A and B are shown apart, each in its own frame.
Chain A
Amino acid sequence: MSPAYVLKRIALIGYTLFVVSLIVFAITQILPADAAVMLLGENATADALAAVRVQLGLDAPVWLQYGRWLIGVLQGDFGVSMRTGQPVGPVLVEALGRSLLLALFAILLMLCLAVPLGIVAAIRRGKATDLGVSVTSYIGVSVPEFVSATLLILVLADWLQWLPATGYVPLTEDFARGLKHLVLPVLTVSIILIAHVSRMVRSELVDVLHTDYIRAARLKGLSARAVLFKHALRNALLPTITIVALDVGYLLGGVIVVEEIFALPGIGRQLIVAIQSRDLPSIQAGALIMASTYAIANFLADMTYAWLDKRIQYG
């Protein structure tokens, strides 16, 4: 993997964010809500509104507004929330932190469960275990988060009273309580991931097990475990890396719903609130941050892949 390749990928991230910023800004520009009204509320008088518009630079031509906004963003200034009057940047970054924590736990859980499941299903292909795994995974990928979340709350929080229903406590504030509050959200988001990835691992592994080199390894008289762990897994798991990265996008989507239900003040919840209250700066910043998270995740995945996969000459 040549530095040139890395540079190229980084440049691509830049381009990505540029495009996203354009889209997001365009959308927020046409949103059916007057920013000034949002800010001042229903009691604002015409002159007050006018004053605010000038103050917000809403009177300037769109491209100029975009330019100003972009420059601001580049300097890390995402503007001021129209709901709270607080600067958007720090709030969202903090929120992102919480979401990433959620995502991180979810991915860890996923890796711990999905990979073994996939392997078992693949080597027991066609057997009951395989069937069991694939049935569950089919169900897993087919239940929307808000449904699974609701059921989890109903059972684990209301009936069994094992876990707090919702709410968020920073780990720094009270670690034990913080973790307890994270369990349900993490479970909810990881279900679909686990289901999806385990299926991927299975099919990848099944394919690999059909390759000539695996046959060759067997015919060299290597033990079954050596064939599986040394020869097959490595090749089967490589593509999974990319899949996991792509799932990050899905994860971020799921996070929106999950945070809404579990009152987890992460980036997703911020976005929902921002969208509902037409808080344009927050929407713009939120979407941009989410997109960059996704872009970076994929970047890292590609890097890992390039680093692990000896075949491809990245030049």
Chain B
Amino acid sequence: MDTTAPILEVSGYSLDYATPAGFTRALDGVSLGIAKGEVLGLVGESGSGKTSLAWAVMRYLPAGAKESGRISLAGKELTAASPAEIDAIRGRRIGMVFQDPGTSLNPTLTLGEQLAEVLVRHRGLSRKDAWAEGEAMLARVGIQLPAAMMRRYPHEASGGEKQRVVIATAFACQPECILFDEPTTALDVITARQILDLFAELQDETNVASLYISHDLAVVSSVCNRVAVIHRGRIVEQGPIAEVFAAPRDPYTRMLLAAVPRPDRRVIETVPEPRADALLEVDKVSVIYGRKPFLAALLGRVNTQFTGNREITLAMQPGEILGIVGESGSGKSTLARALTGLHPFEGQIRFGGRPIHGIADMDRAYRRDVQIIFQNPDSSLNPRQRVREILSRPLELYGEPGRGADKAAIAGLLEQVRLPADFADRFPHQLSGGEKQRVAIARAFASNPRLVICDEITSSLDVSVQAAVVALLVDLQQRHGTGYLFITHDLNLVRQIAHRIAVMYRGDLVELIDVGDLAAGARHAYTRSLLAAVPAPLAA
């Protein structure tokens, strides 16, 4: 890899945002450089300032931002550049690919329009030529029928297609440098993989200098040459991937690396002893969304129904952790909702032997024994209730009477999830994401359930926090012998924690497999493509 003068060079750059409370430091003495054809991974957790750096490079800073240091593009000092110059540089010499193609594309303009306009603006093409060029670009980024795609509106394209269009736009003017801001985070595993491959291709082909921002060390390790780890606005460590990941010098880096889920590092040793009487048996459970056809017809609607789950059948032993993986819309959460009586279902559930044919059959005992934890604690904790009330409810309902008021009991619950007792008086918005999720967990365990359904409970958390929460879950499982239905899209994570894995695809349960056998090679095609898509776990 040639190490000529870097295309993008940031040196001693600091940035402060103006807030009502005064200035807060976002970036602190950041220095890095990216050479032609090089991919620098910028790794950090939320709030670390990685995106701020991107905005700084793009010269897209809020009014009242205070900065010092230098940012130069091929020797051109950007911090000093005039607005006109910046306009000429943006999109022409520096491209950017955004996190969520769903929101970064204008819903009322055709994809072609949004691609062509850049060409018109920066390469002075006529609309007609721009359009033709655009089609070529789309073909290049691997879109079948580019002509048709040009004419589509964002809502008519899939997430992957949209992201391809965004990438095409970024590369459209052959910029010297492109910033990628978590370009695959909003996508499904397999789509993400394809985007990453596309990225790699284009990268080799154009030799552009890329800054690849991500929280996912696995991804970074797979696409970048060098990595910079950013923490609280500071670059704590920087160097070639191999070196940094193999022998991290900074404690934070070490912590991060340790936190990354790795299938080879099982966090759960116990194996549930196979017993005759299963804890939970799901028998041909189907969930149908949408209104009844006849009314739909009445209202002149085409049949709006679709199937969320199609005849799912599986069984769980007491104390077992059953992982459920699948991309969004595969029906993971639907199953969870059916099992907790949040959505009517067809078929039969047997819990501890007791048959349950519908929500009506979910009696107090069942409610007590089956608890659910949701993905996003911000919405699963009532913002207008204090932690105390949130935790006291299950106690009221399922503990012996009057325990809801019992301070000690609540303190106990908090202690169980390693939160200080005085959190009882706080409101959710006074807690961090991880703390909120812990409260949610505490609430779930308040009724000593036998089965807890974890619906993507770590996906909104940072790696380090996720690790801690997982550890906590495992610990609780040891203590109470609770069974988990662990729903996630993170294959690595689930391979770490689950005993068996159920793979779902478009509402079907395509495969139910023992974790051990997974490495040996899955049988179902989809499972295999899923496994293939997951970025290779970090080398130890």
B302, A220: Cβ atoms under 8 Å?
no
Contact of B300 among A5, A221, A223 (CB under 8 A): A5
Residues of A within 8 Å of B86, CB to CB, are: 221
Task: Using known A-B contacts A215-B60, A223-B121, A226-B121, determine if residue A4 contacts B300 with beta carbons closer than 8 Å.
Answer: yes
| A219, B179: Cα distance in complex, Å | 11
B122, A221: Cβ atoms under 8 Å?
yes
Q: Is A68 an interface residue (CB 8 A)?
A: no
Q: Is B437 an interface residue (CB 8 A)?
A: no
Residues of B within 8 Å of A315, CB to CB, are: 301-302, 304
Contact of A221 among B90, B105, B155, B166 (CB under 8 A): B90
A217, B106: Cβ atoms under 8 Å?
yes
Nearest-neighbour CB distance to chain A for B311, whole angstroms, equals 28
Q: Is B58 an interface residue (CB 8 A)?
A: yes
Contact with B along A174-217 (1 / 0, CB 8 A): 00000000000000000000000000000000000001111111
| A215, B86: Cα distance in complex, Å | 14
Of the listed stretches B23-31, B91-99, B228-236, chain A binds: B91-99
Nearest A residue to B91, CB-CB: A221
Contact of B105 among A4, A216, A238 (CB under 8 A): A216
A310, B117: Cβ atoms under 8 Å?
no
Q: Is B408 an interface residue (CB 8 A)?
A: no
Nearest A residue to B63, CB-CB: A126
Q: Is A83 an interface residue (CB 8 A)?
A: no
Nearest B residue to A309, CB-CB: B108
Residues of A within 8 Å of B96, CB to CB, are: 216, 219
B104, A213: Cβ atoms under 8 Å?
yes
Contact of A213 among B89, B91, B106, B304 (CB under 8 A): B106
Q: Is B536 an interface residue (CB 8 A)?
A: no
Interface residues of A in 1-26 (CB under 8 A from B): 2-5, 7-8
Residues of A within 8 Å of B89, CB to CB, are: 221
Task: Using known A-B contacts A217-B106, A221-B118, A231-B106, determine if residue A7 contacts B91 with beta carbons closer than 8 Å.
Answer: no
A8, B299: Cβ atoms under 8 Å?
yes
B90, A218: Cβ atoms under 8 Å?
yes
Q: Is A230 an interface residue (CB 8 A)?
A: yes
Residues of A within 8 Å of B104, CB to CB, are: 212-213, 215-216
Of the candidates B109, B169, B300, B302, the one having the most CB atoms from chain A within 10 angstroms of its own CB is: B300
Residues of A within 8 Å of B490, CB to CB, are: none
Q: Is B277 an interface residue (CB 8 A)?
A: no
Contact with A along B250-270 (1 / 0, CB 8 A): 000000000000000000000
Q: Is B107 an interface residue (CB 8 A)?
A: yes
Residues of A within 8 Å of B200, CB to CB, are: none
Interface residues of B in 54-90 (CB under 8 A from A): 58, 60, 86-90
Contact of A216 among B98, B121, B300 (CB under 8 A): B98
Residues of A within 8 Å of B100, CB to CB, are: 212
Nearest A residue to B87, CB-CB: A221
Task: Using known A-B contacts A311-B153, A311-B155, determine if residue A223 contacts B107 with beta carbons closer than 8 Å.
Answer: no
| A223, B91: Cα distance in complex, Å | 11
| A223, B117: Cα distance in complex, Å | 11
Nearest A residue to B179, CB-CB: A219
Residues of A within 8 Å of B4, CB to CB, are: none
B109, A4: Cβ atoms under 8 Å?
no
Task: Using known A-B contacts A2-B300, A310-B155, determine if residue A222 contacts B107 with beta carbons closer than 8 Å.
Answer: no
Residues of B within 8 Å of A221, CB to CB, are: 86-92, 118, 121-122
| A216, B101: Cα distance in complex, Å | 10
Nearest-neighbour CB distance to chain B for A204, whole angstroms, equals 13
Contact with A along B416-450 (1 / 0, CB 8 A): 00000000000000000000000000000000000
Q: Is B3 an interface residue (CB 8 A)?
A: no
| A2, B299: Cα distance in complex, Å | 12
Q: Is A234 an interface residue (CB 8 A)?
A: yes
| A3, B153: Cα distance in complex, Å | 21
A219, B60: Cβ atoms under 8 Å?
yes
Q: Is B379 an interface residue (CB 8 A)?
A: no
Of the candidates A3, A212, A238, the one having the most CB atoms from chain B within 10 angstroms of its own CB is: A212
A238, B117: Cβ atoms under 8 Å?
no
Residues of B within 8 Å of A293, CB to CB, are: none
Q: Is A28 an interface residue (CB 8 A)?
A: no
| A223, B88: Cα distance in complex, Å | 9
Nearest-neighbour CB distance to chain A for B225, whole angstroms, equals 25
Residues of A within 8 Å of B88, CB to CB, are: 221
Of the candidates B60, B106, B107, B302, the one having the most CB atoms from chain A within 10 angstroms of its own CB is: B106
Residues of A within 8 Å of B302, CB to CB, are: 315
Residues of B within 8 Å of A3, CB to CB, are: 300
B121, A219: Cβ atoms under 8 Å?
no
Contact of A218 among B60, B114, B155 (CB under 8 A): B60
Q: Is B103 an interface residue (CB 8 A)?
A: yes
Residues of A within 8 Å of B153, CB to CB, are: 310-311
A213, B107: Cβ atoms under 8 Å?
yes
Q: Is A292 an interface residue (CB 8 A)?
A: no
Of the candidates A2, A219, A234, the one having the most CB atoms from chain B within 10 angstroms of its own CB is: A219
Of the candidates A214, A216, A221, the one having the most CB atoms from chain B within 10 angstroms of its own CB is: A221
Residues of A within 8 Å of B91, CB to CB, are: 219-222
Q: Is A65 an interface residue (CB 8 A)?
A: no
Nearest A residue to B107, CB-CB: A311
| A235, B103: Cα distance in complex, Å | 13
Interface residues of B in 94-147 (CB under 8 A from A): 96, 98, 100, 103-109, 114, 117-118, 121-122
A310, B121: Cβ atoms under 8 Å?
no
| A3, B300: Cα distance in complex, Å | 9
| A212, B105: Cα distance in complex, Å | 8
Residues of A within 8 Å of B114, CB to CB, are: 217
Residues of A within 8 Å of B90, CB to CB, are: 218-221
Nearest-neighbour CB distance to chain B for A242, whole angstroms, equals 15
| A50, B497: Cα distance in complex, Å | 90
| A226, B87: Cα distance in complex, Å | 12
Nearest B residue to A313, CB-CB: B155
Task: Using known A-B contacts A220-B169, A221-B88, A223-B121, determine if residue A213 contacts B58 with beta carbons closer than 8 Å.
Answer: no
Residues of B within 8 Å of A216, CB to CB, are: 96, 98, 104-106, 166
| A210, B202: Cα distance in complex, Å | 31
Interface residues of B in 278-302 (CB under 8 A from A): 299-302
| A270, B335: Cα distance in complex, Å | 61
Nearest A residue to B84, CB-CB: A223
B107, A226: Cβ atoms under 8 Å?
no
Residues of A within 8 Å of B155, CB to CB, are: 310-311
Q: Which 3 A-B pairs have the closest CB atoms?
A: A4-B300, A221-B91, A221-B90
Q: Other than the known A222-B121, A226-B121, what 11 A-B pairs have Cβ atoms closer than 8 Å? A: A2-B300, A212-B100, A212-B104, A216-B96, A217-B106, A219-B90, A221-B87, A230-B109, A235-B106, A310-B108, A315-B304
Q: List 7 A-B contacts (CB under 8 A).
A: A213-B106, A215-B60, A218-B60, A231-B109, A310-B107, A311-B107, A315-B302
